[in-house]
Amino acid sequence: MQNNQNIKVAVDAVVFGYHNNALYVLLVQQKYGVYKDQWVLPGGLVHNGETLTNAVHRELQEEAGININYLEQLYTFGDDVERDKRNQVISVSYFALVNPDNLKLSAATDAQDVKWQNINNIPKLPFDHNLIIDTAFKRIKAKLHYQPIGFDLLPKKFPFSDLEHLYATILEQEIDRRNFRKKILSFGFIKKCNEKQKNGSGRPAQLYTFDPNKYKALEKNGMHFEIKFA
């Protein structure tokens, strides 16, 4: 039987950034085509002979001017055959967690602008990009219970309250801070620093840092972390 299949494959990236106790998503503004001037997730069609991983890294570099060391594959979107007005396109999506302070954004190729958008104020996006973002957000919420999160989101040294705010922001609920501190410290991937952070006239806050070896081991092998809420 002759197969006249004409399905294209694309990649899309949901890059979450955490800054000032708020979670953001990286968006780029289209420069050309039917979606010109509209904001979308970074991504595009996979080239012939190109791997999916290389494609998503290339798109992030071309459209946002950034390199991200690690992206995790999220989901394949294609049940809606009309998700793209131009062709039938299957999208393999990825997500990443980063500290925006460590990245310098620069729009290029198909993007005329790039920005961090607060996750609570995401506009209606073309394709099914709102669904992709929602799916990625649910994934990182779930990951909090079986993998440590924070290494790429927080500064090298941070007060413990910053980690508490990070978890509360992602979970969108206030956590039981005493229980959280006790359990997180029991995993051993956070260490006290020999210095404190001076905050105005208040009491200096103890600074902590991640133990990269312990962190990576837990990230690889997983953990069970039951989070209690206030």
Which structure tokens are listed for 7?
A: 């399905």
Contact 39, 125 (CB under 8 A): yes
Residue 56 and residue 162 in one domain: no
In a domain, 18, yes or no: yes
E strand residue ranges, 83-176: 89-98, 111-118, 158-159
Residue 72 and residue 132 in one domain: yes
Contact 20, 14 (CB under 8 A): no
What type of residue is 106? Answer: S
Q: Is the pLDDT of residue 68 over 80?
A: yes
Q: Which residue has the tokens 């999220």?
A: 74
Most confident of 28-32, 50-54, 193-197: 50-54
User: Distances in Å between the alpha carbon of 16 and those of 68, 93, 141, 170?
Assistant: 11, 13, 12, 10
In a domain, 178, yes or no: yes
In a domain, 230, yes or no: no
In a domain, 113, yes or no: yes
Residue 121 and residue 180 in one domain: no
Confidence of residue 1 (pLDDT cuts 50, 70, 90): low
Confidence of residue 191 (pLDDT cuts 50, 70, 90): very high
Residue 190 and residue 130 in one domain: no
In a domain, 1, yes or no: no
Pairing of strands 43-45, 72-77: unpaired
Give the rounded percent of residues in the chain with a pLDDT score beyond 90: 74
Phi, psi of 158 (to 5 degrees): -150, 150
Which of 85, 109, 143 lies at the terminal end of a domain, its last residue? 143
**Tell me, what's the pLDDT at 82?**
77
Looking up residue 203, the CATH number of its domain turns out to be 1.10.10.10
Residue 136 and residue 170 in one domain: no
Determine the structural domain holding residue 106 and report its residue range. 8-143
In a domain, 3, yes or no: no
In a domain, 227, yes or no: no
Question: Mean per-residue pLDDT for 74-89?
Answer: 87
Residue 105 and residue 193 in one domain: no
Q: Is the pLDDT of residue 117 over 90?
A: yes
Kind plus residue range of the DSSP H or E element containing 25: strand 22-30
- The pLDDT tens digits of the residues spanning 18-35 come to 998 999 999 999 998 888
**Tell me, what's the pLDDT at 111?**
92
Per the structure, how many domains does the chain have?
2
Which structure tokens are listed for 127?
A: 């394709």
d(CA 126, CA 124): 7
